[in-house]
């Protein structure tokens, strides 16, 4: 896809993720996300490869530019979320919650996993059903603010015998 025309407009945009106020800083490679006033010594760099429709998530050290390590590489850019500022913020939010689940953003530990305490926020995803173009299901992540608690409105989830219950829509989002 082409780089969205209004991409520069997200520069300096604020968004609240969990209980943390985050700021977006557009860069040459894509954009950084900072946590403001919470003692995060790491920043998250999203390298946007518009030509290949892919992005990387890189954990960088605050004030050290692009130095860091890759948490994810070559993820598909969800084009539908690139259309408006609010949908773009949803994209950023779900990515940062994923990062916070995996990485300690407070302390600089190269290539180390850990967890950043963020109050989990319910995230609603709409997933198209593979059985028909006009059917979609609602996948809820962090149900009731419980981290990694999932729900889906599809029948397969309701009848899932797995513990915890799951379905292909949840797996797709994970
Ligand atoms: Zn489902």
**Bridge partners of 123?**
141
Distance in Å, CA 37 to ligand 1 centroid: 38
Q: Confirm if 141 and 123 have CB atoms less than 8 A apart.
A: yes
Distance in Å, CA 128 to ligand 1 centroid: 10
Both tokens assigned to 52: 């290949």
Note the pLDDT of residue 93: 92
Report the Cα 17 to chain-centroid distance in Å.
10
Burial of 126 (0-12, 13-18, 19+ CB in 10 A): exposed
Pairing of strands 123-128, 68-76: unpaired
Note the pLDDT of residue 118: 67
Confidence of residue 156 (pLDDT cuts 50, 70, 90): very high
Distance in Å, CA 172 to ligand 1 centroid: 9
Q: Looking at the predicted structure, is the pLDDT value of residue 167 above 90?
A: yes
Confidence of residue 112 (pLDDT cuts 50, 70, 90): low
Q: Looking at the predicted structure, is the pLDDT value of residue 92 above 90?
A: yes
What is the Cβ-side half-sphere exposure of residue 60, based on CA atoms within 13 angstroms?
Answer: 19
Q: Confirm if 167 and 159 have CB atoms less than 8 A apart.
A: no
Domain ranges for the chain: 7-102, 123-173
Distance in Å, CA 155 to ligand 1 centroid: 7
44-80: per-residue pLDDT in tens?
999 999 999 999 999 998 988 888 889 999 999 999 9
Q: How much of the chain exceeds pLDDT 90, in percent?
A: 51
Between CA 103 and CA 121 the distance in angstroms is 17
Report the Cα 110 to chain-centroid distance in Å.
21
Question: Of 62, 58, 61, nearest to 48 (Cα)?
Answer: 58
């Amino acid at each position: 896809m082409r780089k969205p025309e209004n991409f520069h407009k997200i520069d300096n945009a604020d968004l609240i993720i969990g209980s943390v106020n985050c700021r977006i800083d557009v860069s040459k490679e894509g954009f950084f996300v900072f946590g403001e006033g919470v003692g995060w010594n790491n920043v998250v760099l999203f390298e946007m490869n518009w030509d290949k429709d892919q992005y990387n998530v890189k954990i960088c050290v605050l004030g050290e530019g692009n130095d860091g390590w890759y948490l994810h590489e070559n993820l598909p850019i969800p084009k539908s979320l690139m259309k408006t500022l609010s949908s773009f913020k949803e994209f950023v939010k779900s990515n940062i919650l994923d990062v916070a689940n995996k990485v300690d953003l407070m302390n600089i530990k190269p290539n180390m996993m850990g967890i950043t305490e963020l109050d989990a926020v319910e995230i609603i995803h709409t997933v198209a059903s593979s059985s028909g173009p006009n059917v979609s299901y609602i996948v809820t992540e962090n149900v009731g603010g419980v981290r990694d608690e999932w729900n889906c409105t599809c029948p397969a989830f309701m009848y899932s015998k797995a513990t915890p219950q799951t379905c292909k829509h949840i797996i797709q989002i994970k």
